[in-house]
């Protein structure tokens, strides 16, 4: 399927939030149990590299970056969020978004992308590995979701462009 990768804007929020809610409902995408409002989401994500995959008028998925620290030494290290609408899973939207996010992040001086993925989310783990992420660790019983302890797999992708000099 063909997607147009585009900059996310505030007008996309209803569809973006709906996709986030679908991810929450899987019990495999996040420890969050409810989607935030626009203001809270906007404040917690970098303004750069907020992307959506458009299939006609429908948003198939979205990606965004969050800072991992306010310390200047970590200015080029961010956490990745990738969410794909249920009806578009397995159709290439996640791959198109993540590859576009990698390119965008490098244009903005990001040298490390990191992801914390619930161990049961095998499709997200496979997607990240396909896009050059490597596993760097496992945080056992790091958080509880629906009264069950869950492990998180830590992955990272180091830029071959930014910081390679």
Question: What are the domain boundaries of the chain?
Answer: 4-115
Q: Tokens 């990745």 appear where?
A: 80
Gap between the Cα atoms of 56 and 138, Å rounded: 39
Q: Which of 18, 3, 7, 8 is nearest to 86 (CA)?
A: 18
Reported as a single tens digit per residue, the pLDDT across 59-90 is 999 999 999 999 999 999 999 999 999 999 99
pLDDT, the chain, mean? 96
- Which CATH number does 4-115 carry? 3.40.630.30
For the cut 70, the answer to whether the pLDDT of residue 164 exceeds it is no
Per-residue burial over 100-126, b if 16 or more Cβ lie within 10 Å, else e, is bbbebbbeeebbbbbbbbbeebeebbe
Output the pLDDT for position 55.
96
* Helix pair 93-107, 122-130: axis angle to 10 deg: 50
Question: At a CB cut-off of 8 Å and minimum separation 6, what does 71 contact?
Answer: none
| pTM, rounded to two decimals | 0.94
Mean pLDDT of 95-100: 98
For the cut 80, the answer to whether the pLDDT of residue 129 exceeds it is yes
């Amino acid at each position: 399927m063909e997607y147009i990768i585009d900059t996310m804007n505030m007008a996309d929020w209803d569809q973006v939030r709906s996709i986030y809610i679908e991810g929450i409902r899987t019990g495999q995408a996040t420890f969050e149990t409810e989607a935030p409002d626009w203001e809270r989401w906007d404040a917690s994500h970098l303004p750069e590299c907020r992307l959506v995959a458009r299939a006609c008028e429908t948003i198939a998925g979205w990606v965004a970056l969050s800072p991992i620290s306010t310390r200047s030494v970590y200015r080029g290290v961010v956490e990745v969020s990738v969410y794909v609408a249920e009806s578009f899973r397995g159709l290439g939207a996640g791959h198109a978004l993540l590859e576009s996010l990698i390119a965008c992040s490098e244009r903005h001086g990001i040298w490390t992308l990191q992801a914390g993925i619930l161990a049961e989310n095998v499709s997200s783990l496979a997607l990240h590995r396909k896009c050059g992420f490597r596993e760097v660790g496992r945080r056992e019983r790091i958080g509880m979701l629906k009264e069950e302890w869950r492990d998180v797999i830590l992955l990272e992708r180091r830029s071959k462009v930014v910081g390679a000099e």
